[in-house]
Amino acid sequence: MNATLVEAVNDALRVAMADDDHVVVYGEDVAQQGGVFRATEGLKDEYGGERVLDTPITEIAIAGSAVGLAMRGYRPVAEIQFSGFIPPAFNQLVSMASRIRWRTRGELTAPMVIRAPYGGGVRALEHHSESLEAAYAHIPGLQVVVPSTPADTKGLLLSAIRDPDPVLVLEPKRLYRSFRDEVPEGEHTVPIGEAAVRTEGEDITVISWGATMPDTLAAAETLEEERDVSIEVIDLRSISPLDRETVLESVRKTGRAAIVHEAAKTGGFAAELVATINEGALMHLEAPVGRITGFDVPMPMLAMEDFYLPNPPRIEEGIKDVLDGEGGV
């Protein structure tokens, strides 16, 4: 079917709920209204009020109840209305959900999904547009995925729901309705921890994920037309676990790398990728690894986010800096 990213979320939930009676969906306004972005629209009518529920506005209770349900045999899929409101639930993720397998010596696990519209790009108010994926990836036992296409969104969400351990699914809301693409009907999964090579190239590796992927691909296409270079673009899809082998194999081939994300630069996930490249491909590098990111300020509100988010011209300049480094291409 031809679907938007948010329609792919809805389709994945329908497939999962039809397949397993233990899958329950809940969160603020997800039942009666179908969610702020209508990601859960129609699910209550189809599966009933005992499996699709509205909750009070309390993120810590939403995450905490998911831990309990998961340990009792359910497959909870809880929505946090915006990723900027995950921090109130952080204690449940770091102190409870991520530790159940270790705490019980493998006797119990927490097969639960927390999904949230994530990142900037819709000119929302404060606390609606943060990109804190690096903080969540720092929690051992918590998996973090960030899709950039409708097909990957369905595939990763279905994989997350069926995973025996907790998964945080960050859905780039800027892409919710920005384009349509083919999504496989019915059963479709994408392995967690497996990156996708969107375009193959020989001169530089550019790594991104989520909402910055379309802009990264556009910037790469423009540069390939302007200069006699070929650019390999990797879509991580999973932040944790990280597909280190795909990243390192590409950088060993191209000898140059740039990383694009919309989160603030300091402590952003690009820093982890730079360390990974240094550990596994340092002797192959012909220039320092570049970072094209948001700025070290709180995510600005409304139209000011246009100045904060990496856009194709800024991504092009960042890639050029790496290409023109030591012995430039």
Token digits for 224? 């390939």
Q: How far is residue 323's CA from residue 203's CA, in Å, rounded to a whole number?
A: 8
Q: What is the CB neighbour count within 10 angstroms for residue 192?
A: 21
Q: How far is residue 318's CA from residue 81's CA, in Å, rounded to a whole number?
A: 33
The residues, any chain, with a CB within 8 Å of residue 152's CB and separated by 6 or more, are: 190, 196, 235, 237
Active site residue 128: yes
Token digits for 205? 């590796």
Q: Which of 22, 128, 188, 261 is catalytic?
A: 128
Q: Are 155 and 189 in contact (CB under 8 A)?
A: yes
Task: Give the CA count within 13 Å in the CB-facing half-sphere of 296.
Answer: 4
Q: Are 58 and 64 in contact (CB under 8 A)?
A: no
Using the structure block, give the residue that is written with the tokens 């990243």. Answer: 247
Token digits for 92? 């449940």
Active site residues: 128
